[in-house]
Structure 1
Amino acid sequence: MDINKLRTFLTIAQYGSFRAAAEKLFLSPRAVSKQMDQIENELGVKLFTRQKNNTSLTDMGQEFIVTATDLVNSYTNAYNRIQIENASNSRKVVIGFSSQNQSTIIQQTFREPLLQNPEIELELREESGRALVKMVREKQLHMAVTPAYDEVLDYGPKVGVRKLITGEMVVGVSRQNPVSKLESVNLEQLSELPVFYYNSYQSTYLQDVFYKKFNKIFPKKNIQRCSSIEQRDMLIALDRGVGFFPQPLVPAESMLNPMIKFLKIENDLNTYYASVLLYNKEVESPTVRKLIDQFE
């Protein structure tokens, strides 16, 4: 079975519609629909219930998520290991990142090292934060950039860490909200509002992080995942809720989101934030080692 069609199937399951999956994969909705027709014909079962304005997974489709995920992960893991081995004596460095914020940080912090070492070629791959740690540990990536919400960083004996940026979390509120007139705010004033966070993967990791980090001020059910950064920022700008942002990225966020005001948090809480570079300490590639050393 074609691995790309399986990836398309999982993207539909993740984002909830053929159209959303098409936008994510840069395909036409018709191409996505055709791929799903081919999978259903190959399997001899219906994976989707298709209606005019709604597409949902059948019971068989829900069960097939597990199989498709295993097949895609097995293929991806093998492919990544082969690519890393082939790149061990080349100029290529394969780096993973977990969100658009981390992509921005890569652009900011890698600019000077790459200017000094123009022979290095970066290849970027987006994965969930938890997957990145595992992939670095198992040498499926040369390195990864991911957020850290505590100063104590322990990813196991094989994984090395370099801090790229450090700062604190701030809260973003709509300029329609009266508290936007302030420069700082006690989170108790916002505790009845939803908290929106971005994660392209079906994961409650950040829900757990924010629930504990901000001392359970916000009910856990109010901490809600958005499948895109644009969706999160629009909901905040329209005063449907609030969000937490890394203070070092506020200048860039302010330019992108003029309807959001970023406020310092007054509560006596752990608002620590860092973006860290992870790498395998047993890395053999001289090119990778050279780049890692730029961040000492």
Structure 2
Amino acid sequence: MNFDQLRIFMEVSELGSFQKVAQAHYVSQRAVSRQMKRLEDELNVKLFTRGKNQVTLTTAGGFFKERCQVILRMINDTNQAVQHFDERSRHRLTIGYFSPFDTLLLRDLIFELDANIDVFIAEAGPEHVITDVLMNDLDCAVVMDHYGFDQEFSKMGLKTALLHTDQMVIGASERLPIKDAVSIEQLRRYPIIYYSNEESSYLKRAFLESLGLNGQALNVERVFSFEHMQMLVSLGKALAFYPCELIKAYDKTSPHIRYWPIKDASDQRFTFNLVYRSDNHNPALRQLLDQIKIAGGMPKQA
């Protein structure tokens, strides 16, 4: 039993004639009759009462027609849904990010994309989103780079588009006796925390290497909530490190935190890059890259 048999069966039941169905499909009456006989043999039941000029449904045939209508409707609905899903998938864009600051960089870019692009956003640690891009589970991801170490994305088969250049600063409570800048010695006196929604040492490693310090020199720990991090810093329980320009735009609700440069430290500049596979030809990704060109000049390719 196949789709064509079911469709022909429905037409015969509606028209009451093998001949009329045959004419509609430009085939012989014998071909239609043979298909219906094969269907009856497969079901092991008589579906039609064959008269001289007309065929009618048996009781079993009437029951089968009701079920056949349901089956064909389901097939048609499923076919339309699959086609719609396929159309949406061609306009789907998946983006990974790892910090609240990434959303500031992405928000306006995404808003400028065509309305028919279905954008999916996933938050994960830097190592996670980079792996997902490499595995084609994400079209692209925002990643901090050139801070402490260089990821060398080109060796992974990835390209990058420059989104933002910034400088790291230290957030400290106004209660703490810090003026003008934070010294390395002051960094040693307090816990230093950073936010990541999952286990990740990326930011810790980058921060320590940017200072030229080994992993034992400072107490750097991850917290699970950005809001909790801000509360601890506000109360003077810990210090934290932030992108200077983006924290000004993002955090306007923590008036008790002051943001200071690091005294006598090595270069604290870094970049936020959009990373993507060089062989990813998703039109939605190409449109996002075009928006990056418009917003910030030509992408910096790695």
Into which bin does the TM-score normalised by the smaller protein fall?
0.5 to 0.7
Contact 2:211 2:265 in 1 (8 A): no
Pairs aligned (count): 207
Conserved in 2, the CA contact under 8 Å of 1:88 and 1:284? no
Does the C-alpha gap of structure 1 residues 138 and 116 become closer, same or farther in structure 2, counting only changes over 3 Å?
closer
**Percent of paired sites with the same residue:** 23
Structure 1 residues 263 and 164: alpha-carbon distance in aligned structure 2, compared to 1, 3 A threshold: same
Q: What residue in structure 2 maps to residue 143 of structure 1?
A: 140
Give the distance between the partners of 1:256 and 1:101, measured in 2 at CA.
15
Aligned-partner Cα distance in 1 for 2:194–2:285:
32
Matched, 1:166 2:165: yes
Distance (whole Å) between structure 2 residues aligned to residue 271 and residue 163 of structure 1: 17
What is the CA deviation profile of residues 136-190 of structure 1, one whole-angstrom value per residue up to 9, with x for unaligned ones? 11211111112224384412342110110101100110011121xx233323233
1:200 aligns with 2:164: no
- Kindly report which structure 2 residues correspond to 1:213-232, keeping only aligned pairs within 5 A, or say none: 213-216=210-213, 219-220=216-217, 222-232=219-229
Q: Does residue 1:279 correspond to 2:298, yes or no?
A: no
Letter of the aligned partner of 2:189 in structure 1? E
1:250 shift after superposition: 2.4
Provide closer, same or farther for how the CA distance between residues 201 and 96 of structure 1 changes in structure 2, counting only shifts above 3 A: same
CA distance in structure 2 between the partners assigned to 1:292 and 1:242 by the alignment = 36
- Counterpart residue type for residue 152 of structure 2: D
- Which one of the candidate residues 152, 155, 159 is aligned to 1:154? 152
TM-score, normalised via structure 1 length: 0.63
Aligned CA distance change for structure 1 residues 206 and 288 (closer, same or farther; 3 Å): closer
Check if 1:92 corresponds to 2:102. no
Shift of 1:211: 2.2
1:287–1:253 Cα change, 3 Å: closer
Q: Give 5+ residue unaligned stretches, structure 2.
A: 1-84, 293-297
Matched to 1:231, the amino acid is H
Deviations 1:183-219 (A, max 9, x none): 3332323321110111221233322222222222884
Q: Partners of 1:276 and 1:248 in 2: how far apart?
A: 16
Q: How does 1:249-264 map to 2 (within 5 A)?
A: 249-264=246-261
What amino acid maps onto 2:170 in structure 1? V
Q: Specify the code of the residue in structure 2 equivalent to 1:280.
A: R
Q: Once superposed, what is the RMSD of the aligned Cα atoms? A: 2.5
SS in 1 for 2:286: helix
The residue that corresponds to 2:236 in the other structure is: 239
Gaps of 5+ in 1: 1-84
Instruction: Return closer, same or farther for 1:292/1:86 CA change in 2, 3 Å cut-off.
Output: farther
One-letter identity of the residue aligned with 2:203: L
TM-score scaled by length of structure 2? 0.62
* In structure 2, distance between residues paired with 1:143 and 1:87: 20
